[in-house]
Amino acid sequence: MSKNHQELSQLNSALVWQGFKRFLPISFFVAIFGAAFGLAAIQTGLDPLSIVSMSSFVFAGAAQFAVLELWGTSIPIIPLIVTTFFINARHILMGASLYPWLKYLPAPKRYGILLVLSDANWAFSQQEFQQQKPGFGILFGGGVALWIFWVIGTSLGVLFGNVIKNPAQFGLDMVMACFLLSMVIGGEKNLRIFFIWSVAAISSLLAYKYLPENSHVVVGALAGGIIGMVLKEKRI
């Protein structure tokens, strides 16, 4: 007998601690990316306090790297806002996908969890919910682990970033992608899920080739989300 969404919405210190511990391995790799960001930001001319503050309060790796590409003596505010929005627009769908469970939490807990929402802990929590297990412990605990190591990595990058000048040279740029792929493979498997991911992937690739930079992120997410809603309504 499957559990209802309210039963799976529990959140307590034990579940958060379990989620934190489970995310420690991947958090070390996140620290490496944080170090790469710290180094890149220093080379752009930002001061150390601004760099660490950005990682602490923004906590969005891809968007932070994109901002560095636009940074200069004259900052283009509108392109910067648009680019950041498109890169992070997937969080709208990620948050919506969690709503069946989030709605049972009081507002402080609900929005507190979403402060540390990222691709990795979202994917892992979805897998937990699909397996009829509470997923908010790993969403929040894992998110806190990622955030802490991202800030630590950024700080180390500011101080000692010359050690890791090119993470891609060691294949470290693929760690997060491989982790997310493992979550997809380990999740629910049926024709509907396969079709949703296929549409999202094809749409994203086409957008990457033919549309403006970074638009492939939101295009893929929207295409997959729309197909998912359509197929769910038709129960295919």
Question: How many domains would you assign to the chain?
Answer: 2
Burial grade of 37 (CB within 10 A; 0-12, 13-18, 19 or more): buried
Sign of CA dihedral 95, 98, 102, 108: negative
Contacts of 176 (CB under 8 A, 6+ apart): 26, 29, 30, 33, 119, 120
Domain encompassing residue 224: 189-236
pTM of the model: 0.72
Distance of CA 3 to the CA centre of its chain: 27
Asked if residue 3 belongs to a domain, the reply is no
Q: What is the pLDDT of residues 20-71, one digit of tens each?
A: 999 999 899 899 888 888 888 887 888 899 999 999 999 988 788 878 877 7
**Do 179 and 210 belong to one domain?**
no
Give the integer Cα–Cα distance in Å for 41 and 29. Answer: 19
**What pLDDT sits at residue 2?**
53
172: Cβ contacts below 8 Å, ≥ 6 apart? 29, 32, 33
d(Cα 81, Cα 67) in Å, to the nearest integer? 9
Q: Pick 107 or 63 by higher pLDDT.
A: 107
Same domain, 128 and 140: yes
Q: Are residues 43 and 70 in the same domain?
A: yes
Q: Residue 236's pLDDT is what? A: 42
Predicted local distance difference test score (pLDDT) of residue 233: 46
Using one digit for the tens of pLDDT, what is the confidence trace for 175-195? Answer: 556 655 665 666 666 787 788
User: pLDDT at residue 132 above 70?
Assistant: yes
Whether residue 2 lies inside any domain: the answer is no
Helix, strand, or coil (residue 105): coil
Same domain flag for 135 and 198: no
Position 22 scores a pLDDT of 93
